[in-house]
């Protein structure tokens, strides 16, 4: 079996090479394929391959060598290994007065790059980073040579020079120490006579709070003018609270806007008017809030205040005057409306939670020009309206009322009913 497979392979290769010679097909092979390039067989011609570098290798990247025959029918390529860095290690050199020094670094003689390490793993992008600038000479008129010790002669050396110091006093401040500086025209100088910083000398001025602004104490230093404020006190103004709208189950209370306020607080007494059992905090600019899920016909108490935030603390104004504001009572409905001779009679459901009822009637559906009959007992459940026009259609509706603190609060009107007199 192995002999049969070997014969098939040999026949296939022979046919391939014959096809190459007679059909002009070129076969190529890369390095590593079959160990040797596939070279087309052409009777009478022997390939002669010449290699050319088609991609130059670099320190870190491989190159490519391409081999071709002059017949143009044979070609293959081989990689050229990366060259690797050719490092020259530069030791650190200290700077002098006239010549720059350098930090230790490695230089690749091929690519010209600088590296921190000799393996070329850490590139120095800016080559000037390794340069240490020259120090420059330092001369003093009374010293014959450079003060750096390089041996350079001092062109302005004056052996007869005698220091003549001028004293300048730097006075201490609240935060900085004082001292005296002694300077000679030759450039020599020194300091002495240190004095301690004076520390601040603060004076306190109290600013009283206003209706919409905090009070505070300002501390100002008499020497340097530094200042700070503390001891804040709350504003003195009170909000004006009123009821904006009410229903049988909710109330909207409103107050005046205070531009300096950080926010507001509203409290409500939902039970006996003695305990403030609910507090609502609102942001600046909000001047009303609606309290929901309230009981109908109940006198609730409200109060409000504003606050100003300062230094992580809230300073609250005094509470407003207490607002007593009842919700509206629940209503009732008409159960029967019957026309009579120049009259009509009306009956309704009893509402034990109210003080009485109002029956309103009009010849117009919008109740313009309406007249009202007040029934002062919640036990009275019917009334007759007389002295009306005969054979006219009247519109009739009813509402309840509850008296709280001598003020009548009315429910919403019931649905209107039409009735015709006789």
CATH number of the domain residue 411 falls in:
2.60.40.10
Same domain, 212 and 304: yes
pTM of the model: 0.56
Number of structural domains (the chain) is: 4
Q: Strand 101-102 to strand 131-132: parallel, antiparallel, or no bridges (unpaired)?
A: antiparallel
Asked if the structure places residue 157 within a domain, the reply is no
Asked if the structure places residue 296 within a domain, the reply is yes
* Pairwise CA distance, residues 396 & 367, whole Å: 9
Query: Which residues constitute the domain of residue 33?
Result: 2-80
Asked if the structure places residue 351 within a domain, the reply is yes
Domain-terminating residue out of 296, 328, 360: 328
Domain-terminating residue out of 308, 328, 348: 328
- Residue 293 is given by DSSP the state S
Contact, 327 vs 249, CB < 8 A?
A: yes
Tokens standing for residue 277:
């059992």
Rounded to the nearest 5°, which phi and psi values hold at 137? -70, 150
Asked if the structure places residue 192 within a domain, the reply is no
Same domain, 317 and 338: no
Same domain, 24 and 69: yes
Rounded to the nearest 5°, which phi and psi values hold at 374? -100, 130
Domain-terminating residue out of 14, 48, 80: 80
Same domain, 318 and 205: yes
* Pairwise CA distance, residues 252 & 280, whole Å: 13
Q: How many CA atoms within 13 Å lie on the side-chain side of 244?
A: 12
Contact, 266 vs 347, CB < 8 A?
A: no
Same domain, 74 and 102: no
Same domain, 298 and 227: yes
pLDDT in tens, the chain (422 residues): 444 434 443 444 344 433 333 333 334 444 334 344 554 555 677 888 898 999 999 999 999 999 999 888 889 999 999 999 999 999 999 999 999 999 999 999 999 999 999 999 999 999 999 999 999 998 887 788 998 999 999 888 888 778 889 999 999 999 999 999 999 887 788 999 999 999 999 999 999 999 999 999 999 999 999 999 999 999 999 999 999 999 999 999 999 999 999 999 999 998 766 789 899 999 999 999 999 999 999 989 999 999 999 999 999 999 999 999 999 999 999 999 999 999 999 999 999 999 999 999 999 999 999 999 999 999 999 999 999 999 999 999 999 999 988 999 999 999 999 999 99
Same domain, 214 and 110: no
Asked if the structure places residue 176 within a domain, the reply is no
Same domain, 341 and 278: no
Q: Which helix (H) or strand (E) holds 11?
A: helix 2-23
Contact, 122 vs 116, CB < 8 A?
A: yes
């Amino acid at each position: 079996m192995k002999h049969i497979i070997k014969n098939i392979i040999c026949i296939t290769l022979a046919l391939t090479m014959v096809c190459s010679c007679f059909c002009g097909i070129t076969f190529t092979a890369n390095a590593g394929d079959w160990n040797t390039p596939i070279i087309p067989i052409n009777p009478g011609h022997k390939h002669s391959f010449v290699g050319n570098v088609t991609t130059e290798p670099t320190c870190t990247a491989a190159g490519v060598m391409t081999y071709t025959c002059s017949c143009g029918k044979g070609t293959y390529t081989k990689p050229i290994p990366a060259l690797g860095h050719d490092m020259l290690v530069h030791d650190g050199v200290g700077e002098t007065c006239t010549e720059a020094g350098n930090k230790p670094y490695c230089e690749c003689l091929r690519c010209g790059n600088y590296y921190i390490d000799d393996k070329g793993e850490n590139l120095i992008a800016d080559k000037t980073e390794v340069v240490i600038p020259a120090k420059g000479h330092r001369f003093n008129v009374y010293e014959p040579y450079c003060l750096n010790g390089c041996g350079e002669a001092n062109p302005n050396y004056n052996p007869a020079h005698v220091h003549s110091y001028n004293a300048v006093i730097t006075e201490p401040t609240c935060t900085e120490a004082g001292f005296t500086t002694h300077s000679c025209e030759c450039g020599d100088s020194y300091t002495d006579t240190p004095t301690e910083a004076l520390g601040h000398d603060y004076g306190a001025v109290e600013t009283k709070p206003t209706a919409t602004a905090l009070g505070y104490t300002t501390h100002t230093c008499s020497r340097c003018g530094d200042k700070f404020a503390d001891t804040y006190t709350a504003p003195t103004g009170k909000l004006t609270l009123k009821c904006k709208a009410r229903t049988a189950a909710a109330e909207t209370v409103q107050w005046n806007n205070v531009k300096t306020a950080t926010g507001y607080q509203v409290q409500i007494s939902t039970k006996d008017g003695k305990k403030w059992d609910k507090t609502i905090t609102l942001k600046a600019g909000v001047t009303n809030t609606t309290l929901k899920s309230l009981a109908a016909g109940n006198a609730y108490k409200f109060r409000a205040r504003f606050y100003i935030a300062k230094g992580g603390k809230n300073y609250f104004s005094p509470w407003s005057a207490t607002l007593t504001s009842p919700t509206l009572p629940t209503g009732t409905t008409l159960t029967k409306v019957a026309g009579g001779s120049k009259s009509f009679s009306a009956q309704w459901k009893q509402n034990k939670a109210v003080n009485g009822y109002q029956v309103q009637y009009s010849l117009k559906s919008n109740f313009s020009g309406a007249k009202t009959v007040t029934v002062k007992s919640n036990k009275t459940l019917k009334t007759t309206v007389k002295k009306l026009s005969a054979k006219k259609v009247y519109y009739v509706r009813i509402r309840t009322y509850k008296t709280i603190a001598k003020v009548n609060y009315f429910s919403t009107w019931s649905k209107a009913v039409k009735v015709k007199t006789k």
